[in-house]
């Protein structure tokens, strides 16, 4: 992910410097376990533990010759070890994937914890915004066309619960990626005792894979990336709602617009939904990582590295992108401007057509057939669409022509937008408990 969209905390998780710190930690724990079993000299542990991680530049310099990143790392680290002879016991009995997969699991767990904290913040922001607007009337839309009265808090509540479910999926996916293996070539523990694997897992807060064939099967990592993609897409859903609400013809919602901010290089009047548009675009990048990572599940026999080059790009990009999306969406929600007057004006703009389904139900309760009632109400509605005459007038005229009696008082009662708010109390009661 380019620097423009990389926040510092997540950027460090996937930095080369941190990767080599984790590699040093894994190798040191393996060495300690071997020493405790008497497999390697005990006096090798302290010099290795004290050796600073190699720099990314030094590893890259050696890799240019070896064409093998793990060997380059081990060589560079050995150069930092005094006495250098102690480094001979590093990586004893291991294969490259033991180191790579174990350190990667630690990275993904760290990344997940950052994402979960940001998801908690966004869930809370959505919850609070929805509760604040539990009585803010607006028109509900289906197919982009006015439907029935609604409240803005109801729409936001849907996003709050959706993001909370995404967060909970990610919590479960944390377990799926927190899986390591130190089982040697082809995963048979031929040169390393399973006790070493258990020791490293315990000290790194990971769990050993039930089985590994030199590499950990990528179904867990695929699940993790899929959860990130769902989270990113819920953020996109929020942003898309704001983008529509900020259209000139709608004008119900506005992104935060700071002092000195410019909307257009050519048109000074513009206030564009740039945060929302960026969120929608970034979500595509996160979703795009699902297929490349999932295609790392099938590998040749016990191991190949066709997944390796993909994961070097896809896993950091998915994590960094989702991290940025959660940050940006929280900024959008907490700074969102809601034009309640415009919402009410838009609700009233179709001259009462939004009560057509309520009128249908009310007339059916008088004993008329649904087919007759629907035909009457539709005919009145079409006249309102064409002429702009208030729906109650066209309804009254159409009913008179068809010999249908209307209870005007009852229609006044059922065609009030406030009536629709009370029905949502259970939703907001559930939302208030969301954390």
pLDDT in tens, 6-28: 999 999 999 999 999 999 999 99
**How much is the average pLDDT of 168-194?**
95
Q: What is the CA angle 106-112-116, rounded to 5?
A: 150
Total-model pTM? 0.91
Using pLDDT thresholds of 50, 70 and 90, give the confidence band for residue 264: low
**How much is the average pLDDT of 90-101?**
95
The answer, yes or no, to whether residue 268 has pLDDT greater than 70, is: no
What's residue 269's pLDDT?
67
What's residue 420's pLDDT?
76
What's residue 7's pLDDT?
97
pLDDT in tens, 321-376: 999 999 999 999 999 999 999 999 999 999 999 999 888 988 888 888 899 899 99
pLDDT in tens, 294-322: 999 999 998 888 898 999 999 999 999 99
**How much is the average pLDDT of 94-104?**
96
Q: What CATH class does 1-92 carry?
A: mainly alpha
The answer, yes or no, to whether residue 270 has pLDDT greater than 70, is: no
What's residue 432's pLDDT?
97
What's residue 267's pLDDT?
65
- Of 15, 34, 129, 143, catalytic: 143
What's residue 291's pLDDT?
97
Confirm whether 309 is a catalytic residue.
no
Using pLDDT thresholds of 50, 70 and 90, give the confidence band for residue 86: very high
**How much is the average pLDDT of 39-46?**
95
Q: What CATH class does 94-344 carry?
A: mainly alpha
Confirm whether 143 is a catalytic residue.
yes
Whole-number average pLDDT of the chain: 93
- Of 68, 190, 264, 369, catalytic: 264
More reliable by pLDDT, 410 or 170: 170
The answer, yes or no, to whether residue 261 has pLDDT greater than 70, is: no
Q: Write phi, then psi, for 272 (nearest 5 degrees).
A: -90, 150
Q: What percent of the chain has pLDDT over 90?
A: 80
What's residue 409's pLDDT?
86
């Amino acid at each position: 992910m380019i620097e423009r969209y990389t926040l510092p905390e997540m950027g460090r998780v996937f930095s080369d410097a941190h990767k080599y710190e984790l590699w040093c930690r894994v190798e040191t724990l393996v060495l300690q376990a071997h020493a405790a079993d008497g497999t390697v000299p005990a006096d090798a542990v302290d010099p290795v533990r004290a050796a600073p991680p190699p720099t990314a530049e030094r590893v890259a310099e050696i890799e240019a010759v070896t064409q093998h990143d793990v060997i380059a790392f081990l060589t560079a680290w050995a150069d930092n070890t005094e006495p250098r002879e102690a480094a001979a016991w590093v990586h004893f009995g291991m294969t490259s994937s033991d180191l790579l997969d174990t350190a990667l699991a630690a990275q993904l767990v760290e990344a997940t914890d950052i994402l979960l904290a940001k998801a908690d913040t966004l869930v809370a922001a959505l919850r609070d915004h929805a509760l604040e607007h539990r009585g803010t009337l607006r028109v509900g839309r289906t197919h982009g066309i006015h439907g029935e009265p609604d409240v803005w808090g109801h729409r936001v509540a849907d996003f709050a619960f959706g993001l909370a479910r995404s967060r909970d999926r990610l919590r479960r996916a944390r377990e799926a990626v927190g899986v390591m293996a130190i089982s040697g070539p082809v995963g048979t523990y031929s040169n390393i005792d399973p006790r070493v694997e258990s020791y490293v897992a315990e000290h790194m807060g990971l769990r050993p894979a039930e089985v590994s064939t030199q590499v950990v099967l990528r179904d867990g990592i695929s699940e993790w990336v899929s959860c990130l993609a769902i989270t990113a897409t819920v953020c996109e859903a929020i942003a898309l709602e704001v983008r529509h609400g900020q259209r000139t013809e709608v004008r119900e919602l506005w992104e935060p617009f700071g002092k000195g901010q410019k909307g257009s290089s050519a048109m000074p009047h513009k206030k564009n939904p740039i945060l929302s548009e960026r969120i929608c675009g970034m979500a595509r990048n996160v979703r795009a990582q699902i297929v490349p990572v999932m295609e790392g599940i099938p590998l040749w026999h016990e191991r190949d590295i066709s997944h390796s080059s993909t994961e070097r790009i896809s896993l950091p990009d998915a994590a960094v992108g989702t991290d940025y999306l959660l940050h940006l969406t929280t900024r959008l929600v907490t700074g969102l401007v809601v034009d309640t007057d415009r919402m009410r004006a838009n609700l009233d703009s179709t001259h009462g057509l939004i009560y057509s389904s309520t009128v249908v139900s009310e007339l059916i309760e008088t004993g008329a057939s649904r087919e007759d009632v629907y035909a009457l109400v539709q005919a009145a509605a079409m006249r309102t669409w064409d002429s702009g005459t208030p729906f109650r007038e066209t309804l009254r005229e159409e009913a008179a022509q068809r010999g249908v009696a209307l209870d005007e008082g009852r229609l006044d009662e059922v065609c009030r937008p406030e009536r629709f708010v009370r029905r949502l109390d259970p939703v907001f009661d559930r939302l208030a408990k969301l954390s």
